[in-house]
Structure formats: C-alpha cells, structure tokens
Amino acid sequence: MENNLVRDVRYLKIYSLGLTLVLAVLLLSAFQQNYKTKFDQIEAERINIVEPNGKIDLAISNKKLFPPPVLNGKEMVRSVDVGPGMIFFNGNGDEQGGLIWNGKAKDGKYEAGAGLLFDQYNQDQTVGLSYDDENGQRSAGLTVWDHPDYPITEIWDKSQIIEKMKPGAEKDDAVKNLHKQWGSQRVFVGKQPDKSAVLLLADLKGNTRLRIEVDAAGNPKLAFLDETGKVIYTLPPAK
C-alpha cells in the first residue's frame, strides 16, 4: 500500500509540473500575439483611442458624452454647444482640434453645420473648414485665426473672474478687452449668406482691410478698407 501511495504522489507531481508548463506556454503565447478583432458593427456612445500609458489620443463621441476642452491640464467649458464629433489630443493630453457636425429641424425651420478645426498649441483654433446653415442662409469656407503666444487658460481664468462681476459698464468694458486678447480672424475664403464668393484679409485686430468679391449677380469687385471698416478705394472705381 505504501508503494501505491508513493507512486500516486509521483504521478501527481508529474501531472502538476506538466500542467504548469502548459499554462506557462499558453501565457507566453498570449503576450506575443497581436490581437485583432473584426466587427461588422459597433454600437457605442463614446470610443476613446489611448496610448499604452492611458493618455487619450482621440475621442469619438455622441453629443451627451462629448469631452470638455482640456488645455495645460485644465478642464474648461465649451463656449458653444457642439457634438457629436471627434476630438484630437496631443501628447500632453490637451485638445488639439477636431471634427464636429450638427443638424436639427423644428416647426419648419432648421439649423445645420460642420467643422474641421486645428488648434494652435495651448490655444484656440487656428485653421478651420466650416459650414453653417440657418434656413437657407449659408456660409462655407476656410478660415485662419491669429492667437496670442500665451496659453488660452490665462484668458479662461480672466473670463471666470469677469463672469462673477455685477452687470454694468465696468463688466461690459472688461468683456470687450478680453475679446481683444482672445485673438482675431485674419483670413476667410468662401461663400457668404448673400451668395457672394469672397476673400477677406484682416489686420492683427481682426479688421477687414482687403475684400475681393464676386457677388450673386456675377459682378467682381476689389475693395480696400481702413481700420474702421470704411472703404477707401475700389476696383472698379466707385461712381
């Protein structure tokens, strides 16, 4: 009987060793495999593409879970209602641009729009392709903005202070001064709601100084403007 017990223990040791080796091989094989899974259809409210360290690179989201803007590690609130769409992030986890679109109709009226936007580092959008439509009043084109070199979070912090100010002339002046610090539109090329095709070039303050236009009737026009928006010269010359 003692011999049988020794034999059973020996068999058990051999079995345990073999099972351990098999599990080790399977485990190592699992780490070496490059898993690829194919789906015919995926249904999700949001998909995050992340790096191995967990930092987010891209978010594809519905409107409800659309990510807030993050810059310098600070989470802010979007100034406009957006989504669904895609938001890109840089290596620091800060927003770097995105693709957004929307459209809705109610009581015989509608609104629609879309935009592909690229952000300046630590700042707001600097290049964008956009489309806006409100009941047939359409604009679409390429826009270039100019922004300061300092982070947009500095402007955001100031806006939060102004938000808490009492309504009045002091608050209105503070809002105007803040808008000047935000940046300006320098270039627009596209079509406008009046069905004109235009090229607008502006100075650093955002004042349009040169306008090249073909209106809805097909008439071409070149206009030079001063910083107040007054036309100082046109081609063909004004009659």
Tens of pLDDT, residues 7-55: 655 655 555 665 666 566 556 665 555 667 888 998 999 999 999 888 8
**pLDDT per residue as tens digits for the range 144-162:** 999 988 888 888 888 888 8
Question: Mean pLDDT across the chain, nearest whole number?
Answer: 85
Lowest mean pLDDT segment, chosen from 18-22, 33-37, 68-72, 163-167: 18-22
**Full-model pTM:** 0.76
Q: What is the Cα–Cα distance from 123 to 96, expressed in whole angstroms? A: 9
**pLDDT per residue as tens digits for the range 205-220:** 999 999 999 999 999 9
Positive or negative, the CA dihedral 169, 170, 176, 179 is negative
Angle CA 91–114–189, to nearest 5: 95
Identify the band that residue 188 occupies on the pLDDT scale cut at 50, 70 and 90: very high
Note whether 206 and 181 are within 8 A (CB): no
Nearest to 154 by CA among 130, 183, 187, 189: 183
In 3-state terms the chain splits into helix, strand, coil percentages (rounded to 5) of 25, 40, 35
| Dihedral Cα 184, 187, 193, 197, nearest 10 deg | 170
Nearest to 215 by CA among 203, 227, 223, 205: 223
The count of other CB atoms within 10 Å of the CB of residue 143 is 19
Q: What is the Cα–Cα distance from 120 to 17, expressed in whole angstroms? A: 60
